[in-house]
Amino acid sequence: MIHKADTPSPSYRVTGRNLGLELARVTEAAAIASAHWTGRGDKNAADGAAVAAMRTAFDTVAISGTVRIGEGEMDEAPMLYIGEQVGCGGPAMDIAVDPLEGTNLCARSLPNAITVVALAEKGCFLHAPDIYMQKIAVGPGLPEGVVDINASINTNLTNLAQAKKCSISDLTLCALERERHNDLVAYAREAGARVRLLSDGDVAAVIATCLPNSGVDIYAGSGGAPEGVLAAAAIRCLNGQMQGRLIFETEDQITRTRGMIRPDLDPTQTLSLTDMAAGPVFFCATGVTSGDLLKGVEHLNNGYIRTHSVMMRSESGTIRYMDAYHHFDPHRA
């Protein structure tokens, strides 16, 4: 389904094709590979399959990409590590990936496991260690600054309800089900809001704030900083609002972050959407298990595999959903 016409800018033209389709091939490959492990209880095998398939698929993408958000440092990850060069040559790009967002969701056959890639011009993604980030996000069509990461959840719910012309009891807050969020959840419920708790998958949860039928009005809480950057890329494309703040446990983490991020950023400051993902951004995701955003991978009786993907482009506001059918040959490995 195509929501808006889209003409790629020259910087995103690669051999006459929109990079969004190139990225879809990458996330599709990872989704198909990890879907084999759906419900099998082995999250590491599912993640490993997604990483290997995504890395191989990047070899066909005509960019000179540098992984800014990936599987970890070079000594921690054999592929898609931070700083790795991907692509077969072309424009210099920053790459943010999560080959399988929601490894536990896939292993347990629960909703909202997805494969994710985001792309921006060089220097436009926040480059930070794999630490926690405080996040808050709401959907489009609301007054700028309607929520503030530095305000109480009661204040944010009150302001959001006023902006939406409803009562707090009509709002649903989404958060990861973690002990560190017990107070957040208690205060939100005390204010009168509904709370939806997720076991994993906060990229999809942040995106849900922008989807009209998801039932999610606001996302709040802490999760991985890499996932925060990926979510910010999607929110940029969806015209939502999001703020973040890195959570440091040691002074060494602050010092290291200062050496990684843009010189104009204070690592302890509140991060705006464009602090996390600036410039023209592409975002692409493919469903592994069905959820609010995407349908999961389906093996059809006619020897085909069906995937469901979304491709977003911030520059034009284009959102494309794509069903693809892939012929499965069991003899070709």
Tell me the pLDDT tens digit for each residue of 262-306: 888 898 999 999 999 999 999 999 999 999 899 999 999 888 999
159 inside domain: yes
Continuous segment of H or E residues that includes residue 253? helix 251-258
Lowest-confidence segment of 17-21, 62-66, 310-314 by average pLDDT: 17-21
- Cβ-contact 133, 246 below 8 angstroms: yes
Are 18 and 65 members of one domain? Answer: yes
- One-letter amino acid of 203: V
Are 238 and 163 members of one domain? Answer: yes
Are 163 and 27 members of one domain? Answer: no
Share of the chain above pLDDT 70, in %: 92
Residue 58 confidence (pLDDT) above 60: yes
Q: What is the rounded average pLDDT of the residues 228-242?
A: 96
157 inside domain: yes
Share of the chain above pLDDT 90, in %: 76
Neighbour-count burial for 32-59, b at 16+ CB within 10 Å, e otherwise:
bbbbebbeeeebebbbbbbbbbbbebbe
The pLDDT of residue 75: 65
- Burial of 119 by CB count in 10 Å (0-12 exposed, 13-18 middle, 19+ buried)? buried
332 inside domain: no
The pLDDT of residue 2: 33
The contacts of residue 75 (CB under 8 Å, 6+ apart) are: none
Q: Name which residue leads in pLDDT, 254 or 3.
A: 254
Q: What is the rounded average pLDDT of the residues 295-323?
A: 93
Show the tokens assigned to 81.
């590590």
Are 267 and 136 members of one domain? Answer: yes
Q: Name which residue leads in pLDDT, 150 or 131.
A: 150
Number of domains in the chain: 2
The pLDDT of residue 25: 94
Q: Name which residue leads in pLDDT, 75 or 118.
A: 118
- Please provide the average confidence, as pLDDT, over all residues in the chain: 90
2 inside domain: no
Residue from 58, 62, 77 nearest 226 by CA: 77
Are 136 and 243 members of one domain? Answer: yes
Residue from 281, 275, 271, 279 nearest 233 by CA: 281
Last residue of a domain, one of 276, 301, 317: 276
Domain harbouring 305, CATH code: 3.30.540.10
Are 264 and 286 members of one domain? Answer: no
Domain residues for 291? Answer: 10-123+281-327
The pLDDT of residue 6: 40
1 inside domain: no
Is residue 137 very low, low, confident or very high in pLDDT (cuts 50, 70, 90)?
very high
Residue from 329, 285, 287 nearest 311 by CA: 285
The pLDDT of residue 10: 40
The single-letter DSSP state of residue 270 is P
Are 272 and 286 members of one domain? Answer: no
20 inside domain: yes
**Percentages helix, strand, coil for the chain, rounded to the nearest 5?**
30, 30, 40
Residue 61 confidence (pLDDT) above 50: yes
